[in-house]
Chain A
Amino acid sequence: MANKSHVFIKRFGIGRIVEHQANALVFTLLVITGLSQRFHEYKASYWIIKTIGGVDTLRLVHRASGIIFALLIIVHVAVGIYGIMKKRWPASMMVNANDFLNAMENMRYYFGISNHPALCDRYDYKQKFEYWGVIAGGFLMISTGLVLWFPVNVARFLPGEVIPAAKAAHSNEALLAFLVIVTWHIYNSIFSPEVFPLDTGIFTGKISRERMVHEHPLELARIENVPVEEITKHHHTHPVDTGSNQGGGA
């Protein structure tokens, strides 16, 4: 085990890394320029608007960021579909029944009923939840954003009420996305004791084998071509009944 603890496993190519950084940047810009409009009564909002040079400039930045965000999402989905269909990429981000079982299993683990966490594959259910949240939320934001950008064209085909409805959805969904990111994503990639002070995976494109053992044992077993039991042998577990300091040294 010791000889393998400093082994890193490649996880992401340069494309995914660039994609994430671009998304992070654009998302931040969208949140700053969007929520300052939603929370227009707050002093901090006006400070942002003043700094950026007025509400019209702010909206320009928001729309420009919106276009980039839309392109990133659309290209990502297109590339994903192309890769899976034509290049036979494994559809590892797809949600399946195991994800729900894993979630239940992890709950049992958290409450001390089970003595090991769920055995997850390349992406665990938490990551899939976030991923699909971004994809679904992204399409919602893109479509409602376009309605708000081109209200006249929309009102030609749809009832006028769609425009305030789009505003309500856009604004609420933005708040939800922002809150999920600042709690869930920031916790999992920064503050979680397993990765603190930072999960460098998305910057270096690789994570330690040790983390793979904990977080993606099924994938590791496939990579190393061994049964999963071989991997989980050294799994950090705890006895069901005592739950004290008898786990492996962390």
Chain B
Amino acid sequence: MREGNRVLPYLMLLMFALLIVPGLGRSAEPGLDEDATACLGCHGERGLTVKFPSGEVLDAFIDGNKFKASAHQSLSCSACHAEFSAKDHPQRAFRSREQYSSKASSVCRQCHAEEQLKKSPVHASLLAKENKAPVCSGCHNPHTVTSVAGGKQFVSEKDHCLRCHQHAMGITLRNGEKVSLKVDAAALEGSVHTKLACFDCHFGFSATRHPKRNFNTPRDFSIAQAEACRRCHFDKYTKTLESIHYSILSHGNLKAPVCTDCHGAHTVVQARADKLKSSKRCGKCHQAIFGTYTKSIHGTALVQENNTDVPICADCHTAHSIQGAHTQDYRDKVPEICGKCHGNSTLMKKYGLNPGVVTSYLQDFHGVTLKFYQRQKDGTAPDSARKAIATCVDCHGIHDITKTTGPTTNIVKARLKNRCQKCHAGATEEFPDAWLSHYEPSLSNAPLVFLINLTYKFFIPFMLIGLILQILLHVWRYAVNR
């Protein structure tokens, strides 16, 4: 005992030195009070953990630097952890991490009054869940939480939102439908919008604001949300205003597609990157037509060979300013639309096709008439007074375009005859021969036409030059005689 009593003062001195000396050293760091400095003596070391009987492990490490930057930096540890101090470190028994978090989070309410919390719609709806409500620390790490008023100090907006929205979560809209609010973080990273912040599209939301929105149906939300796209894609947005889809939508049919229906929301990728995918998107609503298309010469090449030279829906119908295909205006554009590819000699050469098909049509009686009709839209003559003019699609098909050679030749021929008969009542089997099938007249093809043209090609200049020479001779003789 005596011996022990003599040792005790030394021991205490040593303990004092151990406690105070490092503490003195740390108290020199700004912003942390002595209490916190003391706690961080141990809790500032990585690897410090607490194990619960449930088997869960709680990391007891506190990053001193982050804490110093946090909104709670001015608080001493015991302000929240009331039972703990530099002197007291009671052993406590919690069954699980949840139980601990729940208890610890109740401390938050000492400063953050319920009325204040409820001002945020997110908090309000969470608190309304009573027993199921998550605890504060579930979302806000109390040791790193930043000041609301002090500006955003979080690492990234996306991380901020995804902290909740990466989890399976949802809301029930007023019509009772449930909508998932989970955002696939991986898909978001893969999208072309990966550099955008959530708030760039989700107006009104920010790190500090999370207003509660009231939508009747998920569709209402999608339509409203799609308006966000125009902020950047204004050119495309204005084009859609001319489209049949927008027209249908504005007449009250909410099934009409908006931006996100075709492009996706968080998964937006280059729309043209994958032609098959792009056409399939149209097929979501236009199923029957898509089915027909996939059996056509163009569709087969796309689906079976992934040939990207062939037109997809958007190539003929355009992507944004899609017109009603049954309008006269659209029909009039058919030769021009087909001509985009079939008038391109490089592309046609690749497939051994005749690049003159568009010109031969446009130079012929029907093509010329069609061109005049198009120009007459300037008010010269009303559309109602027009005659129906056969265009490419009448013989070649619309979505079911077929090859003109091989086994489908007869289909095209039958279509041609039927089309002729529509306007030329009583047209016989031979009548379609009047159409030279896009062939330039030659000795082997339409020799009569070829020879007539050839004859005049020489005869007209011959005659004209002869007559002009006669006139000149006559004038000359007259001048000489004078």
Q: Which residues in A have some Cβ–Cβ distance to B below 8 Å? A: 37, 40, 46, 49-50, 53-57, 107, 109-112, 126, 151-152, 155-156, 159-165, 167-169, 172-173, 175-176, 179-180, 183-184, 187, 192-194, 236, 238, 243, 245, 247, 250
Q: Find out whether the CB atom of A110 lies under 8 angstroms from the CB atom of B463.
A: no
Q: Is the CB of A161 within 8 A of B434?
A: yes
A247 contacts which of B371, B432, B436, B481 (Cβ < 8 Å)? B481
What would 20 A/B residue contacts be, using CB atoms closer than 8 Å? A54-B380, A55-B369, A55-B376, A55-B381, A111-B473, A155-B428, A155-B430, A160-B430, A160-B432, A161-B433, A164-B441, A167-B365, A172-B452, A172-B456, A172-B460, A173-B456, A176-B460, A184-B470, A238-B480, A243-B480
Chain B residues, Cβ within 8 Å of A156: 428
> What 7 A-B pairs are tightest by C-beta distance, nearest first?
A160-B433, A54-B381, A172-B456, A163-B434, A55-B372, A160-B434, A110-B473
Would you call B414 an interface residue if the criterion is a C-beta within 8 Å of the partner chain's C-beta atoms? no
> Given A54-B381, A151-B431, A164-B446, does the pair A46, B375 have CB atoms closer than 8 Å?
yes
* Contact residues of B between 78 and 92, Cβ < 8 Å to A: none
Q: Which residue of A lies closest to B467 (CB)?
A: A184
CB-contacts of B366-422 with A (<8 A): 368-369, 371-373, 375-376, 378, 380-381, 385-387
Complex Cα gap A168–B434 (Å): 12
Residues of A near B371 (CB, < 8 A) are 40
Total interface residues on B, CB under 8 Å, equals 50
Q: Contacting B474 at CB < 8 Å: which of A57, A110, A179, A247?
A: A110
Q: Does B351 contact A (CB under 8 A)?
A: no
Please give, as numbers and ranges, the residues of chain A lying within 8 Å of B459 by CB-CB distance.
176
CB distance from B75 to the nearest CB of A (A): 84
Is B248 an interface residue when CB atoms closer than 8 A count as contact? no
Q: Are A152 and B425 in contact (CB under 8 A)?
A: yes
A53 and B369 CA atoms in complex are apart in Å by 14
Interface residue? B253 (CB, 8 A): no
Give the docked Cα–Cα distance between A152 and B433 (Å): 11
Are B368 and A40 neighbours in the complex by a CB distance under 8 Å? Answer: yes
- B423 CB to nearest chain A CB (Å): 10
A53 contacts B380, CB within 8 Å?
yes
Complex CA–CA separation, A40 to B367 (angstroms): 11
When distances are taken between beta carbons in the complex, the residues of chain B under 8 Å from A112 are: 477, 480
Residue B471 at the chain A interface, CB threshold 8 Å: yes
Evaluate contact between A152 and B424: CB separation under 8 angstroms: yes
Knowing A152-B425, A176-B456, the reply to whether A50 touches B378 (Cβ < 8 A) is yes
| A57 CB, min distance to chain B CBs, angstroms | 7
B482 at the interface (CB under 8 A from A): yes
- Knowing A54-B385, A184-B467, the reply to whether A164 touches B436 (Cβ < 8 A) is yes
Pairwise interchain contact B376-A183, C-beta atoms closer than 8 A: no
**Most B C-beta atoms less than 10 A away, residue of A56, A57, A180, A245:** A56
Residue B427, interface by CB 8 Å: yes
Question: How far is it, in angstroms, between the C-alpha of A161 and the C-alpha of B478 when the chains are bound?
Answer: 49
Cα A243 to Cα B482 in complex, Å, equals 9
Residues of A within 8 A of B369 (CB): 55
| B386 CB to nearest A CB, Å | 7
* B50 interface hit (Cβ, 8 Å): no
Within B430-482, which residues are at the interface with A (CB < 8 Å)? 430-436, 441, 446, 448-449, 452-453, 456, 459-460, 463-464, 467-468, 470-471, 473-478, 480-482
Min CB gap B18→A, angstroms? 101
A159 to B435, CA, bound (A): 11
Q: Which residue in A107, A162, A192, A236 is a CB contact (below 8 Å) of B481?
A: A236
Residues of B within 8 A of A243 (CB): 480-481
Residues of A within 8 A of B376 (CB): 49-50, 54-55
Q: How far is the CA of A151 from the CA of B426 in the complex (A)?
A: 11
